């Protein structure tokens, strides 16, 4: 009895210890089963041991090669991250923390620690990075990432001693395309433009989208300005290639401004600012070109902003007037009609249309100005009709004005208000305007011609037209650009081109008109080729309406050639 009593104490203690151990193990198993983390152990050779626990499991073959120095030094670690490819092709990401295990003698026995899968965390982080640094439509770097890359590019240019070019590229007339065809088509246009631009660049260059229709290019490692210019020209060329998007045939163009490090500025912000200034200068120079920054651009930009403010007030103050240039029929020199050309008397001087029309286009003021021109020209033509002069008036429509969805209704309203017969109105459109969106163009032209209005293709030979398009469009007249007429007496190529254009018009049963006729030699050439009509200083410059009245109803006589800087610029005219 005493012996049993003596043995009962150790046995009971052993049972209690065993029960406590089982309870602790059960708690461990429960925690591991419920935990999102896994527990792991390795031996001294860093081989993973199988753990007798449920729940999350460690990866079969973790790749800790990047942390070999820490493991070899047998130091504790936290937050080591690694990726494990799966048989399915997916990649899973893990984060582990651990500490070395030593036995009683101090010998290293391996590592023990915890870990967790962070695949979802990585996915969210990557999505956040993409949203923070890349824009969603084209997947290109955004303004924030561009700024970071530009700073790094400047540092690399300093080390290499090469040039770094910063380009700002803006798509011309994108807003009009977007308005006419809808945002879905506009998004496809932007995506296609991004793809084309990227195809012209190297892997080390950066193409970013800054917003709307504006892109930026970082061109690194350029040896000289000539190579930078060649890249800019390639970018312009690939943007200008014909595109078919959502069943629409679209022609784009771009304006590029560029600044070069370290010549034009030494800071990222300054380079971007100067490239923007140069881009706006390219817009004012007629678009579809590139301009490099120069230090006098700031003064010109200030002048541009001041002119825009005064232009907004010009309509209210009735500072615009119209002059009219006679259209002369050949061969009998009869005055067939006139072309309305806008003039702006601002303060004490006359502002050239070449200066203010691009500003009006960019600001959207061209629409109300163009409507005023159309209304005033129709009113004046009605007055001439009432005097017994059977003439027509031609008015240039700007790209933005023509792409208004209700352009035909607007023209019809003006004709009704001024009581002008539609047959007496001719609307002039440049080739570039016509070719920007053929579906919209065909619809609008048919609506206008259904009214009885005649359509003329202005500056023919300078844009994208072709026989197929001229056959599809309901146009009545081709106006041969004065740049071809100017040298027909001395340049065989220009003479051949003009002769071909006249013949083309005859084949298509269209009226041919030569612009900018200034000499008897030019007139003789046109008469020999059978040109139907002409206009230019040889007969008359653009004149105020009261000076046109004496010319109507009689044959035009040749006048001595005279030049005035603004007379050959129409308004509204193409940008």
Beta strands in 125-191 (DSSP E): 163-171
pLDDT of 432: 74
Please check the confidence at residue 344 and state whether its pLDDT lies above 60.
yes
Please check the confidence at residue 20 and state whether its pLDDT lies above 80.
no
For residue 372, which of 349, 340, 403 has the smallest C-alpha distance? 340
How far apart, in whole angstroms, are the C-alpha atoms of residue 214 and residue 171? 7
> 449 is written with which tokens?
């011609």
What residues pair up with 249 in beta bridges, in sequence order?
Answer: 244
- Least confident range of 321-330, 438-447, 485-494: 438-447
Q: Which of 12-26, 83-97, 324-338 has the highest mean pLDDT?
A: 324-338
Q: Which of 42-46, 421-425, 553-557 has the highest mean pLDDT?
A: 421-425
Please check the confidence at residue 466 and state whether its pLDDT lies above 60.
no
Please check the confidence at residue 368 and state whether its pLDDT lies above 90.
yes
pLDDT of 122: 81
318: Cα separation from own chain's centroid: 35
The helix (H) or strand (E) run that includes residue 338 is: strand 335-346
> 482 is written with which tokens?
């004065």
For residue 350, which of 385, 314, 301 has the smallest C-alpha distance? 314
Helix-then-strand count for the chain, H and E = 20, 21
Q: What is the CA radius of gyration of the chain?
A: 38
> 75 is written with which tokens?
């130091």
How far apart, in whole angstroms, are the C-alpha atoms of residue 108 and residue 101? 6
Please check the confidence at residue 30 and state whether its pLDDT lies above 70.
no
How far apart, in whole angstroms, are the C-alpha atoms of residue 463 and residue 470? 12
**54-75: average pLDDT:** 67
Tell me if 171 sits within 8 A of 254, measured CB to CB.
yes
Please check the confidence at residue 12 and state whether its pLDDT lies above 90.
no
Three-state secondary structure readout of 35-62: CCEEEEEECCCCCECCCCCCCCCCCCCC
Please check the confidence at residue 56 and state whether its pLDDT lies above 60.
no
Distances (CA, A) of 512 to 150, 340, 429, 491: 53, 19, 15, 20
Cα angle, residue 575 at apex, residues 142 and 368 outer, rounded to 5°: 100
Q: What is the pLDDT of residues 369-398, one digit of tens each?
A: 999 999 999 999 999 999 999 999 999 998
Please check the confidence at residue 569 and state whether its pLDDT lies above 70.
no
How far apart, in whole angstroms, are the C-alpha atoms of residue 274 and residue 257? 8
How far apart, in whole angstroms, are the C-alpha atoms of residue 263 and residue 563? 40
**pLDDT-based confidence at 168, cuts 50/70/90?**
very high
**424-448: average pLDDT:** 83
Q: Which residues contact 512 (CB under 8 A, 6 or more apart)?
A: 477, 478, 480, 501, 502, 505, 506, 531, 532, 533
Long-range pairs of 132-139 with CB within 8 A, sequence gap ≥ 24: 135/209, 137/187, 137/190, 137/191, 137/209, 138/190, 138/191, 138/194, 138/209
- Residue 571 DSSP one-character state: S
What is the pLDDT of the chain when averaged over all its residues? Answer: 84
Higher pLDDT, 90 or 395: 395
Look up the pTM and report it.
0.59
Q: What is the pLDDT of residues 134-161, one digit of tens each?
A: 888 999 999 999 999 999 999 999 999 8
High-pLDDT (> 70) share of the chain, % = 86
**308-317: average pLDDT:** 87
Q: What is the pLDDT of residues 233-269, one digit of tens each?
A: 999 999 999 888 888 888 889 999 999 999 999 999 9
**454-480: average pLDDT:** 77
Pairing of the two strands 163-171 and 214-222: antiparallel
**Domains, in order of start, for the chain:** 24-122 (3.30.450.20), 134-295 (3.30.70.270), 304-551 (3.20.20.450)
For residue 178, which of 266, 248, 275 has the smallest C-alpha distance? 248
SS3 content of the chain, % helix, strand, coil (to 5): 45, 25, 30
pLDDT of 219: 95
pLDDT of 459: 77
pLDDT of 274: 94
Tell me if 322 sits within 8 A of 380, measured CB to CB.
yes
Query: For residue 287, is the peptide bond before it cis, meaning its omega torsion is within 30 degrees of 0?
Result: no
3-state SS class at 206: strand
**pLDDT-based confidence at 575, cuts 50/70/90?**
very low
How far apart, in whole angstroms, are the C-alpha atoms of residue 520 and residue 532? 16
> 343 is written with which tokens?
């003039």
How far apart, in whole angstroms, are the C-alpha atoms of residue 97 and residue 420? 87
Please check the confidence at residue 53 and state whether its pLDDT lies above 50.
no
Please check the confidence at residue 528 and state whether its pLDDT lies above 90.
yes
- Least confident range of 2-11, 246-255, 480-489: 2-11
> 72 is written with which tokens?
């070899």
For the beta sheet containing 108-117, the strands, ordered from the edge strand earlier in sequence to the opposite edge, are 37-41, 108-117, 91-102, 77-85
Distances (CA, A) of 572 to 7, 399, 533: 115, 9, 22
pLDDT of 503: 93
**pLDDT-based confidence at 337, cuts 50/70/90?**
very high
How far apart, in whole angstroms, are the C-alpha atoms of residue 199 and residue 553? 59
> 536 is written with which tokens?
């230019």
**pLDDT-based confidence at 566, cuts 50/70/90?**
very low
Q: What is the pLDDT of residues 179-209, one digit of tens each?
A: 778 889 899 999 999 999 999 999 999 999 9
């Amino acid at each position: 009895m005493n012996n049993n009593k003596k043995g009962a104490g150790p046995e009971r203690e052993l049972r209690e210890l065993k029960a406590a151990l089982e309870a602790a193990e059960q708690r461990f198993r429960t925690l591991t089963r419920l935990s999102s983390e896994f527990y792991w152990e390795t031996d001294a050779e860093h081989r993973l041991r199988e753990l007798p626990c449920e729940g999350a499991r460690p990866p079969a073959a973790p790749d800790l090669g990047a942390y070999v120095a820490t493991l070899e030094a047998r130091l504790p670690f936290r937050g080591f991250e690694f990726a494990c490819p799966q048989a399915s092709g997916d990649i899973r990401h893990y984060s582990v923390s651990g500490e070395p295990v030593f036995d009683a003698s101090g010998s290293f026995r391996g590592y023990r620690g915890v870990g967790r899968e962070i695949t979802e965390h990585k996915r969210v982080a990557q999505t956040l990075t993409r949203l923070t640094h890349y824009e969603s439509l084209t997947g290109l770097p955004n303004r924030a990432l561009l700024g970071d890359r530009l700073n790094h590019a400047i540092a690399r240019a300093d080390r290499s001693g090469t040039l770094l070019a910063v380009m700002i590229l803006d798509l011309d007339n994108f807003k009009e395309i977007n308005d006419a065809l809808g945002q879905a088509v506009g998004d496809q246009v932007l995506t296609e433009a991004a793809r084309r631009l990227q195809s012209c660049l190297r892997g080390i260059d950066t193409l970013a989208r800054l917003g709307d229709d504006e892109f930026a290019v970082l061109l690194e490692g350029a040896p000289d300005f000539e190579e930078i210019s060649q890249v800019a020209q390639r970018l312009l060329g690939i943007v200008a290639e014909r595109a078919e998007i959502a069943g629409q045939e679209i022609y784009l163009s771009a304006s590029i401004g560029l600044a070069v490090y370290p010549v034009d500025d030494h800071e990222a912000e300054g380079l971007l600012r100067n490239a923007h200034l140069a881009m706006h200068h390219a817009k004012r120079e007629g678009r579809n070109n590139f301009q490099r920054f120069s230090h006098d651009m700031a003064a010109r930009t200030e002048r541009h902003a001041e002119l825009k403010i005064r232009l907004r007030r010009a309509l209210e103050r009735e500072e615009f007037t119209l002059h009219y240039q006679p259209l002369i029929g050949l061969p009998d020199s009869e005055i067939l009609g006139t072309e309305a050309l806008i003039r702006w008397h601002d303060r004490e001087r006359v502002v050239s249309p070449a200066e203010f029309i691009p500003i009006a286009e960019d600001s959207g003021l061209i629409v109300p100005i163009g409507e005023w021109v159309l209304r005033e020209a129709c009113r004046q033509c009605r007055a001439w009709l009432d005097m017994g002069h059977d003439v027509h008036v031609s008015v240039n429509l700007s790209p933005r004005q023509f792409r208004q969805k209700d352009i035909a209704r607007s023209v019809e309203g003006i004709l009704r208000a001024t009581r002008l017969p539609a047959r007496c109105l001719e609307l002039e459109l440049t080739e570039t305007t016509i070719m920007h969106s053929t579906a919209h163009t065909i619809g609008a032209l048919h609506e206008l011609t259904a009214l009885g209005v005649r359509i003329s293709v202005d500056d023919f030979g300078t844009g994208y037209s072709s026989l197929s398009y001229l056959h599809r469009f309901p146009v009545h007249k081709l106006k041969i650009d004065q740049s071809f007429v100017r040298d027909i007496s001395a340049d065989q190529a220009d003479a051949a081109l003009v002769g071909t254009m006249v013949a083309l018009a005859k084949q298509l049963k269209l009226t041919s008109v030569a612009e900018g006729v200034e000499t008897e030699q030019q007139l003789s050439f046109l008469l020999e080729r059978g040109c139907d009509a002409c206009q230019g200083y040889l007969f008359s410059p653009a004149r105020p309406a009261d000076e046109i009245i004496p010319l109507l109803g009689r044959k035009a006589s040749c006048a001595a050639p005279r030049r005035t800087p603004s007379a050959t610029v129409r308004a509204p005219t193409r940008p």
